[in-house]
């Protein structure tokens, strides 16, 4: 506030502006403190990244590999979708879902390197 005027209309406008800025700040803090929403967002981002990487692998791979990836996606994607839904239902299970995803990734990398 400027403090240099006693005009009630100017003061009201400054108060309204300060309230608006304060409301925006409170909303931003609420978003940062919403752990459940952050977990949901991370899970959604992880799922989107997995789907994108699968598509990139399919685009670069020869046909037999594409067929194997299709089989894998038919198996893994429903499991991931169930995991995401369970995390939404019970955010404490996020740790389990992330652990499963890490194990699947490690198994996939080891199997790919063994060939």
Percent of the chain with pLDDT over 90: 17
Q: Mean pLDDT across the chain, nearest whole number?
A: 81
Q: Where are the domains of the chain?
A: 35-114
pTM assigned to the model: 0.39
Averaged pLDDT for residues 34-38: 82
Q: Looking at residue 19, what is its pLDDT?
A: 94
DSSP collapsed to 3 states, 20-79: HHHHHHHHHHHHHHCHHHHHHHHHHHHHHHHHHHHHHHHHHCCHHHHHHHHHHHHHHHHH
Q: What is the DSSP letter of 88?
A: H
Give the residue-averaged pLDDT of 65-69.
81
62 pLDDT band (50/70/90 cuts)? confident
Q: 76, 81, 73: which is closest to 56 by C-alpha?
A: 73
Q: Given pLDDT bands bounded at 50, 70 and 90, which one contains residue 112?
A: low
What Å distances lie between residue 110 and 33, 81, 94, CA to CA? 38, 24, 24
> Which band of pLDDT confidence, cut at 50, 70 and 90, is reported for residue 12?
very high
Looking at residue 92, what DSSP letter applies? G
């Amino acid at each position: 506030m400027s403090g240099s005027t006693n005009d009630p209309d100017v003061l009201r406008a400054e108060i309204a502006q300060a309230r608006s800025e304060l409301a925006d700040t409170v909303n931003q803090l609420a978003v940062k403190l919403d752990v459940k929403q952050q977990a949901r967002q991370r899970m959604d981002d992880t799922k989107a990244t997995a789907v994108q990487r699968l598509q990139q692998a399919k685009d670069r791979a020869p046909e037999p590999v594409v067929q194997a990836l299709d089989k894998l996606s038919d198996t893994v994607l429903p499991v991931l979708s169930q995991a995401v839904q369970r995390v939404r239902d019970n955010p404490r299970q996020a740790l389990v879902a992330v652990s499963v995803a890490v194990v699947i990734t490690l198994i996939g990398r080891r199997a790919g390197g063994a060939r």
